[in-house]
Amino acid sequence: MKKHVLILGASLMQKPAIEAARRLGCRITLVDGNPNALCRSSADSFELIDLKETEKIADFALCLKRNEGLHGVFTAGTDFSYAVSRAAESCALPAHSSEAALRAGDKVIMRSRFEKAGVPSPHFAEADAQTAALSSRALGSFFKKHKLDFPLVVKPCDNMGARGCRLVHSVDEFGSALNDAVHYSKTSRAIVEEYMDGPEFSIDALVFNGELTVTGFADRHIFFPPYFIETGHTIPSKAADAVKLQLFKTFAQGVYALGLTCGAAKADIKMTSKGPMVGEIAARLSGGYMSGWTYPYASDLNLTEQALLLALGEKPAEVLQKRVKIGITDAPLEIFEVPCIRHCAERAWISAPGKVKETLFFETAEKLPGIRNFFPRAHIGDTVDFPHNNVEKAGNVLAVAPSYTEASECAAQAVKTVFLRLEEMNVASGHFLFQDLDTPFPPSAFQLPAEVINALENLQCPEQKPICLAEKMRIKLLPLLENYADLTDWNGRSLRETVDMYNELYKKQNDFRKKTENLYSEFFCEREFWHCLIRGGLQGAVFYFDSRRAECL
């Protein structure tokens, strides 16, 4: 009999699940709150329900079971694992219990559970908008009561993708960070917790039959404080075996404490100066591209399909065939791992604020050696911003190679190849580019020492009369920047490469050159040009030139 599966979400992140269900010969019903969801047409049927409406989804699942038959409920890449468990529970289908999914979906409940079970995790406290309004003295008492000291991390209790997540160093920063976190919370609640130092990792796993099978262990690359922007991950991790075993054991303790028993589990976990600490454990496969793309590329295991089999009440046969036992004897669950046989790196490219006028070199980047997938997010006409969370990046690329270093280099080459040309004279772009070069956030593309910044800002414009813009279509690296020629920007492009790419960009635009040769500008200033280049990289330099040209037309 053809099995029927209900999948929550119909976006790109659910595409691997939809494809897996199709391979397994399932009838597919999709639920999403977006009537124009990307994968809507891939389903046999589609129901327009907001994924936040848990009980409506549970009622719909029960209706499907009664009228059409239903054999599984599933999601991937969404934060609605509780809705999956409630729907599955209402239909007596395999899944984590709704109680366990609720514990994994609410960070305060999760931390409380970890604290009670002795799972290593940071000190924490629940907070809301009223907490943000407390006086400095009252806040001091609040922090002391919960054993909290700066630096602290403030984030929503119930969201994903680092939305509303921020590092704070003082009481002065705390209120705005807390209000931001509350804004991103579905329940208007936030969690305040001690900052965990050290490298961060992602772990994917399947839990069934009282066993934990790790199906992905990756290094996370986090940058741009006070926010936590993941510019990519690399799988498998290069962590030492001793570190890996400690992290796996702590992960198993957390999974057991939450009561996750049947389905996927995902951890963000750190190896801190105090030892391993759990950031969070979710009752689902990881978001981003790890579970659906990078791990399958690295392991030859279709993790999404194996997780879907569990949801359908079947054995994940390929996992059972490929997994190996991990030598940890004192964990609450028996631990296995499906190892990787090659490496995969995912990297994101980011943009300065503005509006995209032109996308360049996408095809070149996509055809570079090792590139497996190319996922641009920002297109012509889109408004872009420097990311404050993990859903505001401009695009992602996935590379596969025999080694960790080679995969990382392939992905990095693609990221620094692509270019988003910003619309000239855009207010948001101009505001960003003319901020001080030592602005903490968003940071300048190139981070220079204070003495070099001062020298740069004191440059005297040599032109005392209007200049032909065509003369400024080719630039040379300033002598005072020669020692920093290998410094790289947000996307890994060096200062020297930026200059070369700028020259090459205008060299190829013959029509542009012809139109520019007779245009004279009193506005082009050497100091301003280099300020924009250092502040915004290639985007900044091109924006400045294009804007000066536009003023002359």
pLDDT digits (tens, 9 = 90+) for 410-445: 999 999 999 999 999 999 999 999 999 999 999 999
What the block records as the tokens of 357 is 């006028």
φ/ψ (deg, to 5) at 131: -65, -40
Q: What is the pLDDT of residue 329?
A: 86
**Are both 333 and 380 inside the same structural domain?**
no
Does position 270 have pLDDT exceeding 80, yes or no?
Answer: yes
Cis-peptide, bond into residue 236, ω within 30° of zero: yes
Domain range spanning residue 519? 427-552
Are 216 and 326 in the same domain? yes
Q: What is the pLDDT of residue 418?
A: 98
Query: Do 213 and 337 reside in the same domain of the chain?
Result: yes
pLDDT at residue 444, rounded to an integer: 98
**Where a domain ends, among 52, 73, 93?**
93
pLDDT confidence band for 470 (50 / 70 / 90)? low
- d(Cα 288, Cα 303) in Å, to the nearest integer? 14
Point out the domain boundary residue: 163, 194, 225.
194
Closest CA to 348 of 390, 397, 388: 397
Q: What is the mean pLDDT of residues 321-338?
A: 95
Residue 383 in any domain: the answer is yes
Q: pLDDT at position 467, please?
A: 67
Q: Are residues 51 and 182 in the same domain?
A: no
Residues 163 and 237 both lie in one domain:
no
Q: Is there a domain that residue 467 lies in?
A: yes
* 213 lies in some domain: yes
**Torsion region of 288: left, alpha or beta (phi above 0 gives left; psi -120 to 50 gives alpha):** left
* Residue 466 domain-assigned (yes or no): yes
Query: Does a structural domain hold residue 258?
Result: yes
337 beta partners: 214, 324
Rounded to the nearest 10 degrees, the angle between the axes of helix 107-117 and helix 98-105 is: 100
Burial 120-152 (b: 16+ CB within 10 A, else e): bbbebbbbbeebbebeeeebeebbeebebeeeb
Tell me the pLDDT tens digit for each residue of 123-173: 999 999 999 999 999 999 999 999 999 999 999 999 888 899 999 999 999
- Work out the average pLDDT over 371-394: 96
Mean pLDDT of 223-232: 96
Identify the pLDDT of residue 548.
Answer: 87
3 state DSSP class of 92:
coil
Weakest-pLDDT range from 73-82, 220-229, 262-271: 73-82
Are 395 and 446 in a shared domain?
A: no
pLDDT at 516: 63
The CATH number for 85's domain is 3.40.50.20
Residue after which a domain boundary falls, among 422, 443, 475: 422
Mean model confidence pLDDT for the chain: 94
- Same domain? For 25 and 161 the reply is no
pLDDT score for 525: 79
What is the domain count for the chain? 5
The model's pLDDT over 58-82, given as tens digits with 9 standing for 90+, comes to 999 999 999 999 999 999 988 899 9
Quick check: 110 pLDDT over 60? yes
Confidence of residue 448 (pLDDT cuts 50, 70, 90): very high
Is residue 370 left, alpha or beta, with left meaning phi > 0 and alpha meaning psi from -120 to 50? left
Q: Which of 77, 99, 93, 114 is nearest to 294 (CA)?
A: 77
**With 80 as the cut, is the pLDDT of residue 400 above it?**
yes
Q: Is the dihedral of CA 212, 214, 217, 222 positive or negative?
A: negative
280 and 321 part of one domain: yes
Look up the CATH number of the domain holding residue 140.
3.30.1490.20
Residue 111, in any domain of the structure: no
Q: Which residues pair with 344 in a beta bridge?
A: 235, 400
What distance in Å separates the CA atoms of residue 174 and residue 146, rounded to the nearest whole number? 15
Q: How confident is the model at residue 103 (pLDDT cuts 50, 70, 90)?
A: very high
Give the residue from 533, 536, 537, 545 showing the smallest Cα distance to 473: 545
Question: Do 88 and 31 fall within a single domain?
Answer: yes
Helix (H) or strand (E) holding 306: helix 303-311
Q: What is the mean pLDDT of residues 31-47?
A: 95
Tell me the whole-structure pTM to 2 decimals. Answer: 0.94
Cβ atoms of residues 295 and 341 within 8 Å: no
Q: Between the CA of residue 251 and those of 213, 218, 256, 276, what are the distances in Å?
A: 11, 14, 9, 9
Q: Could you tell me the two tokens for 524? A: 């082009």
User: What pLDDT, on a 0 to 100 scale, did the predictor assign at position 551?
Assistant: 81
